[in-house]
Amino acid sequence: MFKLKPLSADGVQAAFEKAERYRLLNEPIEAESICLDILEVDKDNHDARITLILALADQLEHRMNRSISRVGKLIAVLESEYERWYYSGIVSERMGKAALHSGTPGCKYDAYEWLIEAMEQYEKAEALRPPGHDDALLRWNTCARMIRDGKLQQRPNDDFEPYLE
C-alpha cells in the first residue's frame, strides 16, 4: 500500500532522541515507529532495540495480543543474559499492571501471578547485574509493594467438583 521512507544514516541519533522523548510523553506507538525506522537503517542498534521493547511493553495494556509476541522475540535476541531477564521482568510487571487495571473477574489473582513472575525474573537479573546496577532490585521492590499495598494474593485452589449422576 505505502512504501515507507527510509531514515538517513545521519539522522539515526536525532531520531533515537525523538523516540525516547515520545516514550516519555506516553506516545509509545510513535516511539515504536521511530525505532523500527532506526532498525531498518542500523539493524544492530542496541539502544533502539531496548527502546522498542519498552515502547511495546508500554502498549501491553491496550494492545496486548499485538505486542506480547513481538516484544518476546526482541528480548530473545538481546545479547546480555542480564538484559533478557530484566526486560522479561518489565514485560511481566506490565502484564500484571494491565491485569490489575482490566477490572475483569479474577484480575487481582492474574496481577499477583504476573507480578510474582516479574519478581522471579528480576531476581535472576539481579544475580547477573553489573556492579552498582540496582535496577532489577528496585523493580522487584516495586512489585512487592504493589502486591502488599493492593492486598494481592495467590489464586485459591479450585476444589469444585461437578455433580455427576
Cα–Cα nearest to 142, from 113, 163, 122: 122
Q: Which three cell numbers stand for residue 45?
A: 542498534
Taking residue 30's Cβ as centre, other Cβ atoms within 10 Å add up to 16
Domain definitions of the chain by residue range: 1-77, 80-155
Distance CA 140, CA 122 (A): 6
pLDDT value, residue 115 = 98
**pLDDT for the residue numbered 64:** 67
> 53, 70, 121: which is closest to 92 by C-alpha?
121
Contacts of 51 (CB under 8 A, 6+ apart): 16, 19, 20, 23, 31, 35
C-alpha cell read off for 121: 525474573
Identify the pLDDT of residue 67.
Answer: 74
DSSP string spanning 48-117?
A: HHHHHHHHHHHTTTTSHHHHHHHHHHHHHT-S-HHHHHHHHHHHHHHHHHHHHHH--TTHHHHHHHHHHH
* Predicted pLDDT of residue 160: 60
Residues of the chain whose pLDDT is less than 70? 64-65, 159-162, 165
* Residue pair 129/136 in contact by the 8 Å Cβ criterion: yes
Cβ atoms 86, 138 nearer than 8 A: no
